Amino acid sequence: MAPRRPKLLFLAPSAYTLGGVQEWLAQLIPDLQDRDWPVTLALPAGQWHDFERYRDRYPSLPALPLGNPSGSRAGRRRGVAALLREQQPDLVLGVNLGDLYPAAWQERHAGHFHGRVAMTLHGFVPTLLADLQAHRPVIDAVIATNQLTCSLCHTQANIPSERILYAPYGVNPDPYPTLTDPTPDSPLKLAWVGRLDQDQKRVHDLPGIMDELDRIGIVAQLSIAGGGTEEASLRAALAPRLQSGQVRLLGHLTPEELGELVYQNHDVLLITSSWETGPIVAWEAMAAGLAVVSSRYVGSGLEGALRADVTALLFPVGDATTAAAQLARLQDPQLRGQLRRAGRQLVQQRYGRDQSCQAWEQAFERCLNLPPLACPPAVPPLPPQGRLDRWVGSNRAEDLRRLLGIRFQHTSPGGEWPHALHSGACDEETLLTLAAALEAALEAEEGS
């Protein structure tokens, strides 16, 4: 009889059903099940975190609800602690759900939970790195999806190198039929996929790039897939092009719609981001046979996937003139074919679904085999969350809230179940500057 596989438990938000992290989970968990890993996914059920909607979107996932009847911080911790005692996983993995770590700390200190704890890290986010540092006594390992993120875990959160593990996202390596090259006189069909924001995705670089393409005489069409806070202002900036049909705003698309409407009907994926830990859309586009033209975003250098003139054409972040010049080079069918072939080969070798699952399996096994952390001291107490906490203490106050049916009303998903519980040591802009400097230094060290 084969030995039992360790039991895995993922904790993730349920407020969002579309996005790279959600699709990663929806792919990874079934792949782990196919390899005989016992896996459960716990999702908050509450005011903003809609468990039923999430389960409807991903019906095949082994999901169970994580409750918090009072909506309080003490209630969140109590709910996670009860889940750990009930499930007793060998390894519990946090996916942007900060209350896992103090709850696991509390239960490990009390001797009620003996499994390992890992944080999965999906971005350059100061608050997540602060959480990682604050909860070092109970986090056995961090698993990051980008090589630069791994380095930041060491320099910014003081995590020992042996407890920093790497596992990338993966995609189906060859999901679409071979694309035919467009004729020389046809418009260049560009696709941009992501969240419509400026800070990370730099969506407002798109009008300038289209203007530069006009200036150098390149006829192009642009489809923009995604939604976000900058949609109205982007519509205004692109109004004449939207009216003429040269630019289309497709809105939020499911992975199936992305394949049908974007990857099978465009020539180029354009990436304008300031930073990324993937992005998954780059690997999806390469698998579909699109050429990639990308900014040299923070996170791309150390990862080493987007190699200039080999797997992608690159331009400095925010440089519309160079971006348009790189896009113009794709009029050369030989160059376009070379990029498409190299991109598909990259996915098949490094970012295919099987390769990704194997990397995550290896990370789990390494985490489980690390020397155990010392039993932590008592978890720091919760600060009062209202007069009731100050009068009788947080535990008794939580008992009274549940008894009397008192519930906090939250104004956002992050208020109900926050991604992180600690403020970062710096703001996002400062962290990005530090990350860029670290990436440059490490690249120079590798090249010396």
pLDDT tens digits for range 343-361: 999 999 999 999 999 999 9
CA distances from 196 to 23, 106, 192, 294 (A): 18, 39, 10, 16
Angle at Cα 352 formed by Cα 350 and Cα 358, nearest 5°?
80
- 150, 164 Cβ separation under 8 angstroms: yes
Length of the chain: 448
Per-chain mean pLDDT for the chain: 93
**Per-residue model confidence as pLDDT tens digits over 124-142:** 999 999 999 999 999 999 9
Dihedral through CA 95, CA 96, CA 98, CA 102, nearest 10? 20
pTM, whole model, 2 decimals? 0.93
Domains by residue range for the chain, with CATH = 8-170+355-381+419-429 (3.40.50.2000), 188-351 (3.40.50.2000)
The amino acid sitting at 166 is Y
Nearest partner of 92 among 116, 76, 122, 61, judged by Cα: 116
Q: Hey, what are 45's tokens?
A: 């059920």
Judged against a pLDDT cut of 90, whether residue 280 lies above it is answered with: yes
- 235, 155 Cβ separation under 8 angstroms: no
Nearest partner of 118 among 159, 175, 64, 62, judged by Cα: 159
Q: How would you classify the pairing of strands 188-193 and 164-166? A: unpaired
Judged against a pLDDT cut of 80, whether residue 1 lies above it is answered with: no
CB atoms within 10 A of CB 231: 16
pLDDT class of 178 with cuts at 50, 70, 90? low
Strands of the sheet with 39-44, listed across from one edge: 63-66, 39-44, 8-11, 91-94, 116-121, 141-144, 164-166
**Per-residue model confidence as pLDDT tens digits over 23-49:** 999 999 999 999 999 999 999 999 999
